[in-house]
Amino acid sequence: MARLPYGDEVRDDPRTREVASAIAARRSGAVPNLYRMLLHAPELAEPWVALGSAVRTRAQLGTARTELLVCLVAALLDNAYEWSQHAPLARDAGWSEADLAAVADGDVEAVSDATARAALAYARELVRCDRASAATLSAARAALGDSVTAEVTAIVAYYRGLALLLTALEVDVDDDPDGPARPSEPARD
């Protein structure tokens, strides 16, 4: 159970309803619990949603690799909410169960795509150590280029921050019959 009531449960003002409606329109009619929590601060919720969308869909890394990267952050931080949201998107983007299992275990070397492996190895060090070694950064730059390496850093930073919010407030995992309940559990049938 979440540590705070969801914002849409306690705020009944025009701005909150407007932001909730805008989120629902962007999210196929649903307002996930993360955004419901952020509705405590509708002026932050709206740009947060826009930033998250940009991070996921506009990066040069590509949407498929970005989704796998988000899954790695979720797995390393044991964040069930992020995993439940992004593992199905990674599957839909073409990642195999073997790739997702490798990411769930932090075994980025077992991922099938070389570019993804470079991004994931760099991201794994960022999550674990708050920085990457000179060797890992050099390998990322060689494989990805400077722009994509900077993007990967920003993506990791965004989802680490998001994981903090989700964990600190114990935001409930949304019902998702197609996704795993936790990063370390297999998908539900």
Q: pTM of the prediction?
A: 0.90
| Tokens matching residue 9 | 């449960």
Asked if pLDDT for residue 26 goes beyond 80, the answer is: yes
- At 187 the pLDDT is 42
Question: Which whole number is the average pLDDT over 159-173?
Answer: 96
Q: What is the pLDDT of residue 76?
A: 98
pLDDT of residue 27: 83
Closest CA to 21 of 41, 6, 48, 39: 39
Q: How far apart are CA 189 and CA 173, in angstroms?
A: 17
CATH class of the 63-168 domain in this structure: mainly alpha
Q: How far apart, in whole angstroms, are the C-alpha atoms of residue 141 and residue 94? A: 25
Domain boundary assignment for the chain = 7-57, 63-168
Confidence of residue 136 (pLDDT cuts 50, 70, 90): very high
Q: Which amino acid is at 60?
A: Q
Collect all residues with Cβ–Cβ distance below 8 Å to 40 and sequence separation of at least 6. Answer: 4, 7, 10, 11
For the stretch 141-162, pLDDT in tens is 999 999 999 999 999 999 999 9
Distance CA 148, CA 188 (A): 34
Nearest to 148 by CA among 64, 90, 62, 67: 62
pLDDT at 45: 94
Looking at residue 29, what is its pLDDT?
86
Residue 93 corresponds to which tokens in the numbers above?
Answer: 């983007």
CB-based contacts of 85: which residues, under 8 Å, 6+ apart? 32, 34, 174, 176, 179
For residue range 92-128, list pLDDT tens digits in order. 999 999 999 999 999 999 999 999 999 999 999 999 9
